[in-house]
Structure 1
Amino acid sequence: MQLLRQSDYNKLSDIAFENEYADQSHFIRAFKEFAGASPFQFMKKSEELIENLSILTK
C-alpha cells in the first residue's frame, strides 16, 4: 500500500517483483485479500479521499 501511495513505480509488476511475488496476478490477488480492493480501486479511493479532505479543509 505504501509503495502504491508513493507512486514511485512504472508498472504494478515492478511492485510485485520488488515484494517477491512470482507475477503481477499473484500480487493483485494478495492485495485484494488484504485491502478488500484491487490496487487500482485502492488508488482511486485514496485519491478521492485526499480530494475530499482538501475541499473540507478550505
Structure 2
Amino acid sequence: MNESLPDIRFVDALVYLISELKELKQTSFEKIDEVISDFINQLPRFIQIALKQII
C-alpha cells in the first residue's frame, strides 16, 4: 500500500478545515463543532481513533 496516501488525506482534510473556518459568517459553537467533526471524519482512520481516545 502507498505510505504517502494518509499524508495526502490529512493535507486534504486540513485544507478543508481551514477553508470552512474562513467561510464562517456567524461563529457559533454548533457550527464550529460541525466543521471540526467533518474535518475529523476526513482524516485517516488511525488518526480518528487516536483523536477519539483523547477527546
Q: Same fold (TM over 0.5)?
A: no
Q: TM-score range by the shorter chain?
A: 0.3 to 0.5
Q: TM-score, normalised by structure 1?
A: 0.34
